[in-house]
């Protein structure tokens, strides 16, 4: 089982990249149904920037987790608590990247009116993945996790 929960049937759909692709698809659909180009080309450019920053955060996080020889797959048992690199600025840089990608897609597809849904998307990620992962980290790494949690924001920033 390799430290993972069994995946049966459609459980693989409850995986962060699938949620992110769903958010991007929703942004595309919103832009098709009711484009709202109030920000014009600068808004689209900012959207591309958000997507690139989001992808960069994800890549930096995966790099750090691979260096620490721990899993990048949600719901698998981590072998190490990663607090270096991008993890000094965010406890969840991959999920922050997911949120930035969806927000950037909404700007790119000129679905600016959908931006409030980014908050809903972040909440879904927190409920479906982050809280459980942080519970596992707390149980597995105890005081080391508690210290990191006190000094590093869930989404972004030093405390």
Q: How confident is the model at residue 139, as a pLDDT? A: 96
Confidence band, pLDDT 50/70/90 cuts, at residue 10: low
Mean pLDDT of 62-78: 93
Mean pLDDT of 130-146: 96
Pair 1, 76: CB distance under 8 Å: no
Contacts of 77 by beta carbon, 8 Å cutoff, 6+ apart: 3, 4, 71, 136, 140
Q: How confident is the model at residue 15, as a pLDDT? A: 86
Q: How confident is the model at residue 133, as a pLDDT? A: 95
- Establish how many alpha carbons lie within 13 A of residue 56's alpha carbon, considering only the half-sphere containing its beta carbon: 7
- CA-based diameter of the chain, in Å? 51
Q: How confident is the model at residue 14, as a pLDDT? A: 79
Mean pLDDT of 43-54: 97
Distance separating alpha carbons of residues 85 and 83, to the nearest angstrom: 7
Q: How confident is the model at residue 4, as a pLDDT? A: 47
Q: How confident is the model at residue 9, as a pLDDT? A: 54
C-alpha to C-alpha distances, 132 to 80, 104, 125, nearest whole angstrom: 16, 27, 10
Q: How confident is the model at residue 11, as a pLDDT? A: 60
Q: How confident is the model at residue 12, as a pLDDT? A: 60
Q: How confident is the model at residue 6, as a pLDDT? A: 45
Pair 65, 91: CB distance under 8 Å: no
C-alpha to C-alpha distances, 155 to 10, 25, 55, 113, nearest whole angstrom: 28, 23, 15, 23
Mean pLDDT of 87-101: 97
**pLDDT tens, residue by residue, 19-32:** 999 999 999 999 99
**pLDDT of 1 strictly over 50:** no
């Amino acid at each position: 089982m390799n430290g993972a929960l069994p995946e049966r049937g459609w459980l693989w759909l409850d995986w962060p990249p699938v949620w992110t692709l769903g958010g991007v698809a929703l942004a595309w659909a919103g832009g098709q149904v009711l484009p709202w180009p109030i920000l014009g080309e600068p808004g689209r450019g900012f959207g591309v920037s958000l997507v690139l920053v989001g992808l960069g955060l994800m890549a930096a996080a995966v790099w750090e987790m691979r260096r620490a020889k721990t899993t990048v797959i949600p719901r698998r048992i981590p072998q190490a608590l990663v607090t270096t690199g991008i993890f000094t600025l965010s406890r969840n840089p991959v999920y922050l990247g997911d949120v930035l990608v969806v927000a950037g897609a909404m700007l790119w597809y000129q679905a600016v009116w959908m931006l409030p849904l980014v908050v809903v998307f972040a909440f879904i990620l927190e409920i479906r993945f982050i809280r459980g992962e942080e519970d596992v980290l707390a149980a597995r790494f105890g005081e080391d996790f508690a210290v990191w949690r006190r000094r590093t924001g869930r989404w972004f920033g030093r405390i």
